[in-house]
Amino acid sequence: MQKVLGYMLTWTAYGNWLQGDKRKYVKDGQILDPNPSLENKNKANMRYPKVSLNTTQREIIKKAIYEESAELNQKIYTIAVRKNHIHLVADCSFISAGSAVSHYKNASRLAMESNGFFGKLWTKGFSVRYCFDENQLNTVIRYVNNHNKTAVRSESHQLHVGG
């Protein structure tokens, strides 16, 4: 059995990428084609507003995740906290992907609530990509770091246009 060097975890903010989404979606580990009627049904069943994280909220979440990773003794190689999702690359350090995501979602939710957030923050579930060698690990680290670069360029452009 191959040793897992790390994994990339991804989860979405509430109301983003619903089942039926035009970008395809995952259910029970299978990638499924768009289904507009299912997506509309899911939108109608939402009990809270769709979450779009602002810059301050993203920093609160990032800090909470780093603090939780220290408690878990888990090394985070890189993290991208975006408006509607999170990518995180970490070592496995004796914690399952599901347990890690549960800890990180909970820690960030508590941090957000202590800063006045009300509602549902995260969607149910997550995705995981396991890395069995240095090349796979470096590939997902670059992917997440590129998300961070894109966010900085996008926010700089928005600030320039608005200001």
What is the percent of the chain where pLDDT is above 70? 91
Q: What is the pLDDT of residue 79?
A: 97
Average pLDDT, the chain: 88
Q: Any idea what the CATH number is for the domain that residue 64 is in? A: 3.30.70.1290
- Residue pLDDT, tens place only, 47-64: 999 999 999 999 999 999
Residue 34 lies in a domain: no
Q: What is the pLDDT of residue 30?
A: 79
Domain span holding position 133: 6-16+51-162
Residue 1 lies in a domain: no
Overall number of domains in the chain: 1
The yes-or-no verdict on residue 151 having pLDDT over 60 is no
Query: How far apart, in whole angstroms, are the C-alpha atoms of residue 163 and residue 160?
Result: 5
